[in-house]
Structure 1
Amino acid sequence: MAELVLDEAALRERVEQDSLRLFLAHLRGTIVALAVLIAGMVLAWQDYAPLRWRLAWAAGAMGACLAQGWVGWRLERATDFAAAMRRWLPWLHASVLMSSVVWGLVPWMVSQGEAAELPLLLACAFNVTIVFAGAHAPGMPGLVLSLSLPASVLGTLTVASRSGHVLHALACGLLFGLVSLYGWRMQVAIRNTLVARRSAEALGEALRAQQQLVHEAERERALLLERQRLMRDMHDGVGSTLIAMLRLSESGGASAPAMAELLRSAIEDLRLTIDSLEPMEHDLATLLATLRTRVGRRLEAAGLTLEWAVADMPPLPWLEPTQALQVLRLVQEAVTNVIKHARAQTLSVSARPDGDALEVCIADDGCGFDPGAATAGRGLASMRQRAQALGAALCWHGEPGQGTRVSLRLPLRPSASA
């Protein structure tokens, strides 16, 4: 799996863009509120400053607001926000700085009137409120400093310029400093939170991409394994039968019944392979039911009566297509032996739970045979090998003239040998 690497510089650039977008969204509503506030303050200062000063201040304040609005408008309309941000962000800082200077002149203008001590302190307190409100606005630490520093310095110097107000100036400077520091720290915390969130989102996207790659790799691997299994099953089943037919034909000893039997065997094995691919949810009863439909006609043609007794059974978690095909071949081999050799009238197939296993029995009422004398047979050896591959137990019970009973015990849990 590829190592996940996050570009810290790109991440912080995205966070800066997000912060600026939040500031611009906040600025649209703030400009209207500031315009109303500026008009109200011009009327409220009529007892403390001449009209020309008030109008000049209002013009500067509105000019700074319009400059911020214009820069924000250019940024929001830009198709490439990152490139526009690098170009217009200095101008936005300049307009915010100009606005802060204009608001910082409020205490100085009020201090020019007579008996203006109380209005001066109220103007400074009002500027502290403006700075505090600006510090809470979504933005960036640099914008908070551009807003707070000029207003704080001008307000503090104005109070300090009045004789006998040194302590007031120190208190005012301390208050401005605390509010500015608070705003800066809060913006840094917001930025770090956004960086952490963006980092988590980027990591989540990378993990999802890696997980998708893993799922695709697992799917490809599963398809490859299934192809290999099908190729192996076709080679061992249909392929071996076709090779036998080819050799028989080339040797010149092929008779029509022998060729028909080999063809029938190849077709049945192909059908078993297809049946093993059907979704059965690890249900042995469903698997056996598919075999019943396949061998029904052969039994009828052979004059055999089928007795079917399959009980409800728990699922076999290990019964995948590969194992299902082995089970089908085992049962089919036992049924084929009955048809070919038993000379029976009735074939009985039963399945039931038996302790920690499921037992499948194929019994007939035919001529029977001696299992001890038939252990060297190729068919029985093949059946033993299949049972061993499944981790199952396979045994025969039969006596001459008493019929034969083949028992297959499939464990509920896969064994270590399987």
Structure 2
Amino acid sequence: MQQAVRVNPHLLRRWLGDHPRSAALAFWASLALALALLVVLYRQPLPLQQGCIAQIHDVARASLVALPLARTARGPGETLLLQHRFAWRLQALQRPALYIGEATPYFDLQVNARHLTPNVDLDAAPRRDLAPHLYALPPDILSAGDNLLSLRVPVARSLSETRVGMLCIGDYDVLLSLYKAEWWRRVGLPKACLCLFLVMAGVVFALRRIHANAPLYRCYLLCIALMSCRSVYLVVGDMPGGPANWRVVSDVSIILLIYAMYRLIAALWNIRLRHWSVAWLLAASLLQLTALWSNWTLEFPLANLLLWLSVAGTAGLVLAHSRASAPHVPALEKHCLRWAMLFAVACGALEAVTYRLDAGWRLIWLYPLGTALLAVTLGFLLTRRAILGATLLMHARQSLGRDLDQTLLHCAEQADAVWQTLSSRVAGRERERVLLDIDAGFGARMAEVVQQLRRELPHSRLQVDIQRALLDLRLMIDAMELELASLAAAFAILQQRLQPALFAAGIAAQWEVAVTQGRRIEDRRRLMELFRCMEELLSNVIQHSAAAHVWIDARSDGEWLQIRVADDGCGMRDGQPRGRGLDNVRARLARMGGSVDCRSRPQFDGTCIALSLRRL
């Protein structure tokens, strides 16, 4: 009977883990629990019933206004002057203090005509102080009768919105706990998030230096930069350029972050970006930026709320589209990123919804926390993928090595040939890399020298010599190309290199080298020597023959290859001084076991030079 009611915990755990409804329930329950816990921990304590000012006198309007208040300049810059009279009983408190939860962009505070902020000049500086303040009042500043508190706050469109939050007068120790909690919400947590962004950027930048998947890491670093803009705006007080511009940068970064996240997810999950999805996302971002740029969202709170709710909705649609487009993604990555993105979107939405509520219900600066968690999640996924990639590559190399060893054991007679082939292939790749580095460095520098000579010494022969040296360097690199297997391909590269010089000299070249189609290259050094011989002969045609046409044809006679270079120029006259070009060609062909035959009939049919050599 006991065995009939016994439940295997492993089977129950497996059933709960594999059941789709259970997984969805756990996902949404954990997200709701995290948000509820955040609201409970982050919610500001209720204002103190005694000592906190509910209404304050607006001197300009000669009326009482409720706190907290928000005001946006509709005309020229002005100063908001708020005053409050309060009675004070001596020795009522051991340490009297004044707490200001918020007075932005900045303020000048006086109690009984004594400045508590002597370093603040309302006419100077663009700055926006978002932090709370706690001032210990000296015993001699308060009188036994009537006391006057004066608070001046600038109201100007260039300084963004003016806000005055909670004002409390009471015992220093009681107000200190309120100040610390509010400081952590407004300053401490954004600073911690900013430090976290810097750490994650350093980690991913190190991964980018190690791995070659640069686009993915660039997208992540762009997202980190956009996430940091909001934290910088909240933390930094002195803002060059004006707080309004910094607020625009902060708000624009939130909108642009959605598109950057879309690109990052597409690169991370290898999602093909469709034109219609990119188009609607850019259109939505453009509309939101237009509404933000018009500044009317500051004047109408409901419009501002709708704007940021539309931004949150756009982020949710991007997440849904990315999730639907990536069925191949591992479940761990998909659930982690989905949870973090929903948490970040919910944090931003809660901040926007509660921004205009009373101080006890305002969930301010939740956006940096949400984006910080999202940055950590993305950094974890990138680091995990990099580690898995390195581990997979290590196992693949080990497996390949074991397979190669087993194969060579079964065919020991071919082991030397296999190792020789692999070694030559690796050496060839390294040789090719070194030569390409030489061409990219030395070759590019010499090309700049030629351009400078053309400007400063247009008739100098030095530029021709440098161009020939560069051509020789590039032909040498071409000859070492491993993919260059046939002689026909070699002649195609040779024609590609030499044809521009022939065309610039006004010489029409005709290449007849189809017979080399089936001949393979066996010795790279012999091919390099042949390239140099052909370059020497065609350079002589350009410089000395005054020809209008040149013919290059190749013939095959068994193992022998015959190449003929003929022109219709002036030929070589008897007694005319000759250079060393033709002698160099003869010397090169002699080292390869070949020969050179030169025939020239001046003033008739130009020069014909035939090269004969064994197969390459």
TM-score w.r.t. length of structure 2: 0.28
Greater gyration radius = 1
Instruction: Indicate the structure with greater strand content.
Output: 2
Instruction: Indicate the structure with greater helix content.
Output: 1
TM-score w.r.t. length of structure 1: 0.39
